[in-house]
Amino acid sequence: MSNLFWVHNGCLYTPLIDRCGVKGVMRDYLIKLASELGLLVEEGRYKPEVLNGADEVFICNSLIKIWPVTRIDQNTFSIGSMTKNLQQALHKDLSC
């Protein structure tokens, strides 16, 4: 019901949806928006361990928009600038 994104070294990552996630409007919209903002977006197949090195993590769907993740097990994450910038850009786009 949601899709996962994370930031590592200035790049935004998200799993391909052929094995997980949902083919949703918000996921596609965020990928397009991030690209328009000049952010590098990588889709692929990743193991859960990649989140251990993430700088920021968030989930999204059309109801919650962007929801920052601050903890997974013992790993904590800050609500970083890329997450905040995407939240602001999304709010601005949807307000028009």
How much is the pTM? 0.94
Contacts of 7 (CB under 8 A, 6+ apart): 13, 54, 55, 56, 57, 80, 82, 83
Strand 11-15 to 40-44 pairing: parallel
- Give the span between the Cα atoms of 27 and 22, in whole angstroms: 8
- Give the span between the Cα atoms of 8 and 54, in whole angstroms: 5
The predicted structure's pLDDT at residue 95 = 82
Q: What CATH number did the domain enclosing 43 receive?
A: 3.20.10.10
Asked if residue 1 lies in contact with residue 64, where contact means CB atoms within 8 angstroms, the answer is no
Domain count, the chain: 1
Residues 5-49 have pLDDT tens digits of 999 999 999 999 887 777 889 999 999 999 999 999 999 999 999
pLDDT for 93 beyond 90:
no
Helices 81-95, 25-36: crossing angle, 10 deg rounding = 110
Domain residues for the domain of 66 are 3-95
